[in-house]
Chain A
């Protein structure tokens, strides 16, 4: 369809319709005209604009009341909209009149600022579209006249009307349209019509518009705030739009740039009469007051939008904050800046990525503006931030106590955001005592632990055993990543904790570490209530400081730490947690310092290991995890390596604490662990420490004997491990004469062990004799002690183990060994004779080892003091075991019999016992050859006899043969008397079987011949 481009033709074309319309204002006529208008091209229509608009406006001015008036008005407005959309309005009068006429269509006749009741949505929509078209069609200078003071009443009425529509209208479209027109009225339209459609204003003109809009600012902002905070059912689009209009308008009026150019002393234009009262002079006072009121509104607005469910609203909130921060940070002042920043910061962790992205950009700009801007605004920005932070810190505990987890998280996110925003400024902030105090107090209160869980006290570790196993298998780092879950009083969500921890790390990263550590340590000392939290914060702070160079301050703080760790009592859950946190802290410190932590090991390692033996499971686990962490951080391959490499530091503390044993009951355990994990290079220190051990043992014998025995035991095991007996080495001289020519380490061993044993024998006597005395007392005391194996028996056993190990080590040093054995003998003898069978059993094993090592040195002692008793006990027990059933093999008496029989033979052989003793042994053992004895006893007894036969074959052939002789011996020569043996012949009895075996095995022939005669034959 070609459009009419000739004005004359167009005029002729339109004229009849226009005339008709004036005469008969009907919908049909309007629509006819509307249709015809579409056939004109833009330029032509522009020329005929006034002419066309006239009949349309004429209809609008007709008195109301006709039946189809509304429909008519709507069609008129639609036609006008078309005209305005395609043409420009150059005449001020047209603009002014059209504006008021259109507004009148909607407003109630009584009050032009109120919408008339009963107007249809369609009409409202049409009028609003038309208004929008009108404002877009107006020429720049024409439009600007709208903002002259004289126009204020009209403009005000229009704005009120539009706001009322935007606020109260039910239809979403109408609301949106009304709000958009308000926006357009503020020359802030951002609709899709492009740049050329919008008037671009110079600075002066901006200023004029701003001045005019200043009059309506309260109205606009209040109404829009109501829209935003009102019924959420109107949908997010309206909210977004309202927010947008809100901040655009505020930014227009409160623009920093505009406010700077305000001419001082300027007064409102005179001669305006009452209108003059409407004029607002944007003086500093006015700005200040307005900013205050806006602050209130802003807070209300933000309270609804920040956590709005729809992301577009949140996005718009970010825009708002960004826009206002960019344009009005000076005029709005701290009161508004605070909430704005808060809104911005709170959105950093928004779940919607678009919001997050926008927010990050905005924050970046904001912080750059804050840091890089002029010094004045720089200061304000930082001030506002720190002010906010202060406020937030104040309210943090309350929020965390009362609000739900979602709210808590968002508040903490804001907190974190501030810190991030402040960045390096944190350092300056923290130098203010008020801030530091507030922030730290907040953290203290928020991080309060819930220590009511009963289980943690009840969970007990099997102390030293756990420690040993852990140390043994650290190569695979069994406890890595094992951190205990903490329960907090005020929150359950792990996310909250992680945000809190990040806050601490931020503080550590940017803040002055010295200051922070000092401060939190002060808190730590100040009150036990804060102690755990302070330690926790400290841990994280230190972690945060990892990026920064860390200096010697750690040393002192660490030392503080450990002292308190050591003197903690373990009564309460709270203390248990305290210890765990501190142990984690040690690991954190190690992690931060890496290898530089090594010098601190001399103070901290012992404390950690000490706690690894703690009775509370939680503590010991934490300590082990800590030790593993430290080992890793310091560059050791394993915990074992860590211990071995720092055993001297550990021993120092062990030694000190041995002197204060009641307060440090773990010291011996640590020593055991150290011994178990170190190598011969430790030897120079061992002698030294053994003295301490023995001294401590002497001082507190009653309670600690068992503990120390285990220490000594581990020491002996270590010595055996370091210097394995070189029995297989044939080149070694067998006696102590080789000492001078021996290799260096051997010398060391000898010296060390001698020194050790000198002390040890003294100690051993104590250990042997004293419990023997105690034992009698105890047994009189009553049966309640019987339940568990009496402590002294355990000690005795352990001591005997130790002795055995000593003998193993010293067996090649006869000069050293024999005096020791002499010293030990009385004590050992007591074990062998009048004690519990268990002790006898162990004692006898030791005796065998001794016999093995000392040989004939013990001969007379054994024959005089031991053998008679052993013999009689064997004889006494023989009938018992012969009669007993299967159950007997589980008794102690049986085990004792067995052990004695198994060891006796070798002992006799080694000691080169005399004939009388051998006979005694033989007599005692003979009953066990009976086939009625348990089979193991028979076997053991056979071994005794085999040994005896080695000692003196002839004598025992005779003895055995006298007991049983399978066949008579014919004398080889008639001159010799026939051999008279006890029981010749085939009579078989209980002994026959074993005797047969013995004779056959030992003398090699079924035909019994006296071995002494073999050579002759």
Chain B
């Protein structure tokens, strides 16, 4: 017997613009927050306890905000807008000011990726001025560590993921390109380690990577999810794709415990898969327009770990699913 389709436990409204991206920040000792970036350049800070927008930050002069993130060590907020800037916000003690900003020069949609390397020190991978270029910038000095340009013509860089492997000296970077190929870069050596040129000609829209299992998945504008794995020699191995009903994936997100994968679909739906075998588990149907972003909460209490989806219909839906929490219907 199939259960009735779930409904969101809450819908955050009132952003008055399409919502592109989400980021949870549920650190211990502070109120659980959800950040969202809107198509009108605002970053909303949602308090998940009161489920109301606590603050609205405008730092991108009305240009769409395509990426938000926080730094664990300092609690600072990062936002990337299509005004070609990445802003660093100081939100401590009730402040809401841009403490630093960086001009990227990229006109694309590619989201940045950050990696913390120490207290207050972190790396940012962002698309560069040239369409294929990726820059790695070290903060707080804002020194450009390197600029990564592929040898072949791969088109615009579409998505990035920077991470520090357990073994090995430097951070690695996964990058998806317009022609559908996926590259693994070694940042310290400034060279591409491996390339998985996908058979699909569609641009690679998004990717998600699980450093524990050395597996990842990428989504594109067609109706396939393509999982892949990194072997010991750091070669990218493509695995069998999983077909979706409707084409177009805006974003993919793997839950912190590595059990679930969620996809934000252009078909207004969020799909939830078991991450191990990519078994489809649920289709969350609520939004009335493209879903642009999904995120899993990092709350310490597993029962309060939520899934959030941001949509072009100006709403954020919050879901309490597969989290051993009380069934909220």
Interface residues of A (CB under 8 A from B): 556, 559-560, 563, 599, 602, 648-649, 651-652, 655-656, 659, 684-685, 687-689, 691, 695
Contact = CB atoms under 8 A, between A and B. Distances in A.
A568 to B, nearest CB: 15
Given A563-B329, A652-B10, A689-B13, 12 more contacts: A556-B326, A560-B326, A599-B50, A602-B51, A648-B14, A648-B51, A652-B13, A652-B51, A655-B11, A656-B11, A685-B14, A687-B16
- The 3 A-B pairs of least Cβ separation, nearest first, read A684-B14, A688-B13, A685-B13
A416 to B, nearest CB: 34
Contacts of A560: 326
7 contacts: A559-B326, A648-B13, A648-B51, A649-B51, A656-B8, A659-B7, A685-B13
A829 B5 CA distance: 43
Contacts of B16: 684, 687
Contact of A559 (B7, B13, B50, B328): B328
A649 B315 CA distance: 14
Contacts of B328: 559, 563
Contacts of A652: 10-11, 13, 51
A695 B288 CA distance: 10
B284 to A, nearest CB: 13
Given A648-B14, A651-B13, A688 B49 contact: no
B224 interface: no
B288 A691 contact: yes
A695 B11 CA distance: 17
B7 A656 contact: yes
Contacts of A559: 326, 328
B38 interface: no
Contacts of B52: 648
Nearest to B314: A688
B50 A688 contact: no
Nearest to A566: B329
A563 B329 CA distance: 9
Contacts of B13: 648, 651-652, 684-685, 688-689
Contacts of B10: 602, 652
A655 B8 CA distance: 11
Contacts of A659: 7
Query: Most chain-A Cβ atoms within 10 A of its Cβ — which of B16, B52, B329?
Result: B16
A379 to B, nearest CB: 39
Give the interface SS of chain B, mostly helix, strand, loop or mixed: loop
A69 to B, nearest CB: 94
Contacts of A688: 13-14, 314-315
Interface residues of B, number: 18
A976 B51 CA distance: 87
Interface in B171-205: none
A689 B315 CA distance: 11
Interface in B13-39: 13-16
Nearest to A684: B14
Contact of B49 (A563, A599, A648): A599
A748 to B, nearest CB: 9
Query: Most chain-A Cβ atoms within 10 A of its Cβ — which of B7, B11, B314?
Result: B11
Nearest to A651: B13
Contacts of B49: 599
A503 B326 CA distance: 31
A140 B50 CA distance: 83
A761 B52 CA distance: 32
Contacts of A556: 326
A377 to B, nearest CB: 45
A650 to B, nearest CB: 12
Contacts of A695: 288
Contacts of B7: 656, 659
Nearest to B49: A599
A688 B286 CA distance: 13
A151 B101 CA distance: 111
Contacts of B329: 563
A695 B289 CA distance: 14
A340 B299 CA distance: 56
Contacts of A685: 13-14
A66 to B, nearest CB: 99
Nearest to A648: B52
Interface string B306-329: 000000001100000000001011
Interface in B262-315: 288, 314-315
A659 B8 CA distance: 12
B18 to A, nearest CB: 13
A760 B5 CA distance: 29
A178 B273 CA distance: 93
A252 B13 CA distance: 80
Nearest to A563: B329
A400 to B, nearest CB: 36
A652 B326 CA distance: 20
A688 B15 CA distance: 10
Contacts of B288: 691, 695
Contacts of A684: 13-16
A648 to B, nearest CB: 6
Contacts of A687: 16
A930 B16 CA distance: 60
A661 to B, nearest CB: 13
A655 B51 CA distance: 15
A688 B10 CA distance: 14
Query: Most chain-B Cβ atoms within 10 A of its Cβ — which of A599, A688, A691, A695?
Result: A688
Contacts of B8: 656
A697 B8 CA distance: 21
Contacts of B315: 688
Nearest to B329: A563
B184 to A, nearest CB: 42
A277 to B, nearest CB: 74
A684 B49 CA distance: 21
Contacts of B51: 602, 648-649, 652
A607 to B, nearest CB: 13
A556 B326 CA distance: 8
Contacts of B326: 556, 559-560
Nearest to A660: B7
A599 B10 CA distance: 13
Nearest to A599: B49
A691 B288 CA distance: 10
B311 to A, nearest CB: 11
A62 B10 CA distance: 108
A96 to B, nearest CB: 84
Nearest to B51: A602
A656 B16 CA distance: 19
A879 B203 CA distance: 78
A681 to B, nearest CB: 10
Interface in B227-286: none
B262 to A, nearest CB: 20
A687 B329 CA distance: 26
A684 B13 CA distance: 8
B10 to A, nearest CB: 6
A691 B289 CA distance: 12
A695 B287 CA distance: 12
A655 B9 CA distance: 12
Contacts of A651: 13
B213 to A, nearest CB: 34
Contacts of A649: 51
Contacts of B50: 599, 602
Nearest to B315: A688
Contacts of A602: 10, 50-51
Contacts of A563: 328-329
Nearest to A602: B51
A34 to B, nearest CB: 94
A728 to B, nearest CB: 30
A675 to B, nearest CB: 15
A590 B52 CA distance: 21
B47 to A, nearest CB: 10
A602 B8 CA distance: 13
Query: Most chain-B Cβ atoms within 10 A of its Cβ — which of A559, A652, A659, A684?
Result: A652
